[in-house]
Amino acid sequence: MRRHAPEVLAFVMAGGEGTRLHPLTADRCKPSVPFNGKHRIVDFVLSNLVNSEIYSVYLLVQYKSQALIEHVRDAWSMAHCIPRHFVTVVPPQMRNGKEWFQGTADAVAQNLHLIESHRPDLVVVFGADHVYRMDVRQMIDAHLARGADVSIATLPVPAQQSTAFGVVETDDDLWVRGFQEKPAPAQAHRMPGQGDRVLASMGNYVFSTDVLLRVLRRAVDAGERDFGKDILPRLARSHRVLAYDFATNRIPGVGAHEEPAYWRDVGTIDAYYDAHFDTVGAQARFRMNNPQWPIYASPDASESAQIVGGDIRASVLGSGCLVDGASLDHALLRRAVRVEPDARIADSIVMDRTVIGRGARITRAIIDQDNRIPPGEVIGGDPVRDRQRFHVSDSGIVVVPRRYFAPLAAG
């Protein structure tokens, strides 16, 4: 345990609609989209906070939040006997009007009373849409050591991706001198000596509490709604804003084969698909089962996976799965998936409680929950036919919506 650690209150922005992840977000918000064998995307930020000994967490939700609320209830209930140990879901309170959250800054501004009641030394505002490990206390230590008012977690990205990020301009000491929200590549500020890269905001911020309260009250009066679009560009001109270098963050238990400072925005079907397969194999880029920095998930009472027979290569099987004489090659099966004889799944993700019928062929696909794929069905490999029935990503990933095929019977 760290001594004399500052009191920290966390806000997690979990209201994302996730339109670019459709149809996976047809019935759920982006942070509640399943990931890997038993997790949801929101588990990464919550695990990072808890592992960093930050236990007072408000999760700000908005769109299609029921699945997320249920997941937090089941997986993230913390000790009730310790008042400052909680993960609490907060929908729009509409205390100052009949509006939902109108932006990231507005979401926190609508909950100023929570900050005032806790009186923390620092407030961290983190996104809920990313796959990564981070010791938040290391960022906090840098914030305090440098005497910053605001710190922004940053990492380099290719300049052509600038339209997806806030772009940070710094001096040689990493003090922020400018902030552009999702600029066109031609206008984005380049990193010195790296004309093909920009320094991107990860959407994770540390604020000194008194500074945050002042800027949010001013933002309310000025009608400003968003940190990246409105507040950070102004603060870069008037306050001590530090760019925290995420590449310096060190996590115990990370293997030599893993990608240093792994971080992925899984906001598109292709990015979501690719991140899954970064977790697969003996030399995975991102190993999910790091016992020194666990990514927590909801409790699981399912039986162990069973393999009756088949040919299985570089695949992940969640609890309760049954594979009977099938072929799996780079397949990721979540909980309670059944694969019948002679079926073949390659380079695909199959979500909970789905049955892959006898002789079916699934290639480069994401099958959402509660589907019963008919015997002999072919999904993937025929772009024309696939696009007639399903959403197909730019790189050719086929997405089968939840319950598209006859769902399993209850129980």
Which of 87, 54, 60, 85 is closest to 73 using CA atoms? Answer: 87
Q: What residues form the annotated binding site?
A: 166, 181-182, 201
DSSP string computed for 211-251: HHHHHHHHHHHHT---IIIIIHHHHHHHS-EEEEEGGG---
Measured distance CA(236)–CA(276) in Å, rounded: 36
| CB 385, CB 369: distance < 8 Å | no
What's the half-sphere exposure (Cβ side, CA atoms, 13 Å) at 247?
5
- Give me the amino acid identity at 342: D
Q: What residues form the annotated binding site for alpha-D-glucose 1-phosphate?
A: 166, 181-182, 201
Q: How many residues does the chain have?
A: 411
Measured distance CA(110)–CA(135) in Å, rounded: 28
Q: Which helix (H) or strand (E) holds 269?
A: helix 269-277
Phi, psi of 379 (to 5 degrees): -130, 125
Distance in angstroms between the alpha carbons of the first and the last residue of the chain: 44
Phi, psi of 34 (to 5 degrees): -60, 150
What residue spans of 329-381 are helical by DSSP H? none
3-state SS string over 106-175? Answer: HHHHCCHHHHHHHCCCEEEEEECCEEECCCHHHHHHHHHHHCCCEEEEEEEEEHHHHHHCEEEEECCCCE
Omega prior to 23 cis, within 30 of 0: yes
